[in-house]
Amino acid sequence: MVRSRGCFAEYVLVDPALATPIPERLSWEQAAAIPISYITAWEALVQYGRLQAGEWLLIAGASSGVGVASIQLGKVLGAKVIGVSTSESKLATLRTLGLDVGICARGTDFSTSAIEATGNKGVDLAVNLVGGTVFSACQRSLGNFGRLAVVGYVDGVMKSELDLEATHGKRLEIFGISNAPLTPAMRATSPLV
């Protein structure tokens, strides 16, 4: 398994420090998904998101690869998980993986539903795998001292409004997760590889 640019190609030349043996129980396809999906989820939830047992986790784009990994990791960590998807059937499948609350939304503000699900407390950590179209809804979903991980932008929308009053008043943290600026040495020290 490897975490490197171009790692989904049939062949790729990588620094040996970036490679790790595939566990026998995993297929080639499963092993290919781990470095991208699960390491990204680990960074968003644990390394930078500091998710704790009993906290609320919101995942916008929950049916994506990183979304599924985040659901599974969130449950292992003891979090209560809210997933946002555009499909009720996808949410039904995600419930079999441990999703606690599913919100079906496309182009609508899901923050009210997320806040209600938490008993009006707001989520502790929101993971935005969609992009600019849901950034504001993710931010509005956060409670006091909430954290927002910006991981992807499959919607192609790279800009969004930032609510400075909420960021300041609730002491919110907003951070990004990207492999682009990581050197090979930094990738080699990842906790899962």
Q: Is residue 190 part of a domain?
A: no
Residue 66 within a domain: yes
| Residue 47 belongs to a domain | yes
Q: Rounded to two decimals, what is the model's pTM?
A: 0.87
How many other CB atoms sit within 10 Å of the CB of residue 88? 9
Q: Tell me whether residue 6 is in a domain.
A: no
Closest CA to 110 of 134, 93, 90: 134
Chain-centroid distance, C-alpha 5: 20
CATH of residue 61's domain is: 3.90.180.10
pLDDT tens digit sequence for 3-44 = 777 777 778 888 887 788 889 999 988 888 788 888 889 999
pLDDT in tens, 49-93: 999 999 999 999 999 999 999 999 999 999 999 999 999 999 999
Give the total number of structural domains in the chain. 1
Residue 183 lies in a domain: no
Question: CA separation (Å) from 51 to 92, 135, 155, 160?
Answer: 24, 19, 26, 25
In-domain check, residue 187: no
